Amino acid sequence: MKTRLYLYDTTLRDGQQTQDVQFSTDEKHQIARALDALGVDYIEGGWPGANPTDNAFFDAAPKTTAKLTAFGMTKRLGISAQNDDVLAAVMNAGTKSVCLVGKTHEFHVTRALGITLDENLSLLRDSIAHLTASGREALFDAEHFFDGYKANPDYALSCLKTVLDAGARWIVLCDTNGGTLPAEVGRITAEVIAAGIPGEKLGIHTHDDTNNAVACTLAAVDAGARQIQGTLNGLGERCGNANLTALIPILLLKEPYASRFETGISQKALKSLTRTSRMLDEILNRVPQKQAAFVGASAFAHKAGLHASAIAKDPSTYEHIEPATVGNARIIPMSNQAGQSNLRSRLTDAGLKVAKGDPALAQILEEVKAREAIGYAYDTAQASFELLAREALGQMPDLFEVKRYRVTVERRKNKYDKMVTVSEAVVVIKVDGEKRLSVSESMDEDGNDRGPVNALSKALAKDLGQYSALIEDMRLIDFKVRITQGGTEAVTRVIIDSEDGQGNRWSTVGVSANIVDASFEALLDAIRWKLIRDLKG
Ligand SMILES: [Zn+2]
């Protein structure tokens, strides 16, 4: 019989404490759906009442199998739990599970809260009792627990016993400052269990300030804790939280965890881990960390010639797991035969059939390599990759040709005597054997400037001759700009995500020293891909 471990994700709450991270409500919903598909047990959605996007998230909460959990703090002194408006806002989110953070470190009780140790115990007791009396599953985050236990073990333990007696389902030991090392986390967790707090009710919440958050989490599990808190990609305050993207495959694939424990995550869902990790980076407009364990692009990249040739004979020679189990892919030198078979499967995905050993394969690999060296990225821009491959395979239809384009940006007074910025784009294309010139401005119907790329996009779409009708349902849904290294120079890389009325979504890439030029290239690819797709079907 395997023991069940419960995974508690706090990407949307603690993860949002990362510097420069602020999720929109839509993004929070998207992340929650991805976490649910992965199979975590709890999704902490945020702190209702503390943050407007958290309120909006819970107001239109996605339907999930995972228990959506609202986070908050224990009630304040001098008000009853029923009358505490901060706690009421948390309860009003209406989640079945509620997690409240409270003090267990005497220094923080007397210093930060300025109340007596007994008064703190009464806050903990009343708050947790209020949750259970309201029929909620109660979780208690024991803030600064490890530091508090080292300072005064009796008091820290009496806090835990108080919330246990008040009906807490989970008591989560938090290493809030992230400075505790694995051996100490293991020892203290074992002592907590020996003192009468059952391991089946204990959770662990660690931070990565010494690069040990995952190791500390495992030490707590070894000692008997059964709930694991963490975030996708290790997002979180300061150096981040325990990284679920590493912990999940460890628990499912590595011993002794794989034989001793089970989680809510299936081997099938594990295959979506890399995709889920990259999706979060995509939302944050971050470069995915190449060397991330399990999900990084370099996690199964074999550069050394000796490794590569051994890998070709048997991948287990230089890999600790099969990359596909976590949805990642092996990367081997381009010239290698195995590199070609990877490429063939990518082409097949794009609907392009190429025979084994076709010389075009080596040519495509060379082209991809050369373009990536000057700043292109084809990991996400699958549509641009497909166009590149079509070109090399001689399967690129003649659609239209851009003869020239021009964009001007002007700052001027409008008819209301207000200073405005207006861009104007002129595009000349040759289609159906004829030259056509289109002009567009960057103003939308409400008179707002949408910028030069918008003007260009409108001019380009204005008259594509016989193809005009095909791109009518096409829409630009995201536009990401990144400065990257192209050869020895810094260049601008633009990634555009497009969508059409049939529910297709595709990404294209453009690179140039000039942002407008890079955008234009990505726009052109987006239109070409759409036309090829529609003309085929
Ligand atoms: Zn935390």
Nearest-angstrom CA–CA distance, 299 and 330: 8
372 has pLDDT over 60: yes
- Residue 156 CA to ligand 1 center (angstroms) comes to 18
- Residue 101 CA to ligand 1 center (angstroms) comes to 10
pLDDT class for 305, splitting at 50, 70, 90? low
pLDDT given at position 55: 93
Taking a 5 Å cut-off on Cβ, the residues next to ion ligand 1 are 14
243 has pLDDT over 90: yes
Identify the three-state secondary structure at position 27. Answer: helix
445 has pLDDT over 90: no
What letter represents residue 299's amino acid?
A: A
Q: What is the pLDDT of residues 104-141, one digit of tens each?
A: 999 999 999 999 999 999 999 999 999 999 999 999 99
Given a contact cutoff of 8 angstroms between Cβ atoms, the answer to whether 308 and 336 are in contact is: yes
Residue range 200-210: mean pLDDT, rounded: 98
Residue range 488-508: mean pLDDT, rounded: 90
- Residue 179 CA to ligand 1 center (angstroms) comes to 12
- Residue 174 CA to ligand 1 center (angstroms) comes to 7
Catalogue the long-range contacts made by 52-56 (C-beta closer than 8 Å, 24 or more residues apart).
Answer: 53/22, 53/23, 53/24, 53/25, 53/28, 54/13, 55/93, 56/25
Topology of the domain comprising 3-265: TIM Barrel (3.20.20)
- Residue 288 CA to ligand 1 center (angstroms) comes to 22
pLDDT given at position 369: 84
**CA nearest 221: which of 182, 249, 178?**
182
Q: How far is CA 493 from CA 367, 390, 483, in A?
A: 17, 22, 6
Q: Residue written as tokens 């109660």?
A: 138
537 has pLDDT over 70: no
334 has pLDDT over 70: no
- Judge residue 27's burial from the number of C-beta atoms within 10 Å of its C-beta, 0-12 exposed, 13-18 middle, 19 or more buried: middle
- Residue 149 CA to ligand 1 center (angstroms) comes to 17
pLDDT given at position 381: 86
- 183-197, 247-261, 464-478, 516-530: which has the minimum mean pLDDT? 464-478
Given a contact cutoff of 8 angstroms between Cβ atoms, the answer to whether 294 and 246 are in contact is: yes
DSSP string, 183-224: HHHHHHHHHHHHTT--GGGEEEE-B-TTS-HHHHHHHHHHHT
pLDDT given at position 307: 72
- Residue 129 CA to ligand 1 center (angstroms) comes to 23
- Residue 77 CA to ligand 1 center (angstroms) comes to 23
- Residue 177 CA to ligand 1 center (angstroms) comes to 8
- By percentage, how much of the chain surpasses pLDDT 90? 74
Q: Please report, for the chain, the start and end positions of each structural domain, with discontinuous segments joined by +.
A: 3-265
Which residues have CB under 8 Å from 202's CB, separation 6+?
A: 170, 171, 172, 173, 189, 192, 193, 220, 224, 225, 226, 227
Sign of the four-CA dihedral 219, 221, 222, 223: positive
Identify whether 256 is preceded by a cis peptide bond (ω within 30 of 0): yes
Identify the three-state secondary structure at position 104. Answer: coil
Arithmetic mean of pLDDT over the chain: 92
Residue range 144-155: mean pLDDT, rounded: 98
- Residue 205 CA to ligand 1 center (angstroms) comes to 7
Q: What is the pLDDT of residues 169-192, one digit of tens each?
A: 999 999 999 999 999 999 999 999
- Output the six-digit token pair for 187: 């020892």
> What are phi and psi for residue 259, nearest 5 degrees?
-85, -25
Nearest-angstrom CA–CA distance, 212 and 62: 33
Residue range 147-167: mean pLDDT, rounded: 98
- 38-52, 334-348, 379-393: which has the minimum mean pLDDT? 334-348
pLDDT class for 11, splitting at 50, 70, 90? very high
Percentages helix, strand, coil for the chain (3-state, rounded to 5) are 45, 20, 35
- Rg, the chain, Cα only: 28
Question: How many other C-beta atoms are found inside a 10 Å radius of the C-beta of residue 118?
Answer: 9
- Residue 142 CA to ligand 1 center (angstroms) comes to 10
pLDDT given at position 308: 67
- Residue 421 CA to ligand 1 center (angstroms) comes to 44
- Residue 277 CA to ligand 1 center (angstroms) comes to 20
- Residue 207 CA to ligand 1 center (angstroms) comes to 6
Q: What is the pLDDT of residues 407-431, one digit of tens each?
A: 999 999 888 898 989 999 999 999 9
2 has pLDDT over 80: yes
- Residue 164 CA to ligand 1 center (angstroms) comes to 21
- Residue 216 CA to ligand 1 center (angstroms) comes to 14
- Residue 103 CA to ligand 1 center (angstroms) comes to 13
Nearest-angstrom CA–CA distance, 524 and 107: 62
DSSP alpha helices (H): ranges in 374-425? Answer: 382-393
Q: What is the pLDDT of residues 66-108, one digit of tens each?
A: 999 999 999 999 999 999 999 999 999 999 999 999 999 999 9
444 has pLDDT over 90: no
- Residue 136 CA to ligand 1 center (angstroms) comes to 22
Given a contact cutoff of 8 angstroms between Cβ atoms, the answer to whether 288 and 294 are in contact is: no
**CA nearest 401: which of 362, 431, 369?**
431
DSSP string, 225-256: --EEEEBGGG--STT-B-BHHHHHHHHHHSTT
What letter represents residue 421's amino acid?
A: T
pLDDT class for 338, splitting at 50, 70, 90? low
- Residue 240 CA to ligand 1 center (angstroms) comes to 8
260 has pLDDT over 90: yes
The DSSP code for 62 is P
Given a contact cutoff of 8 angstroms between Cβ atoms, the answer to whether 516 and 391 are in contact is: no
Q: pTM higher than 0.85, yes or no? A: no
- Residue 241 CA to ligand 1 center (angstroms) comes to 6
pLDDT given at position 313: 77
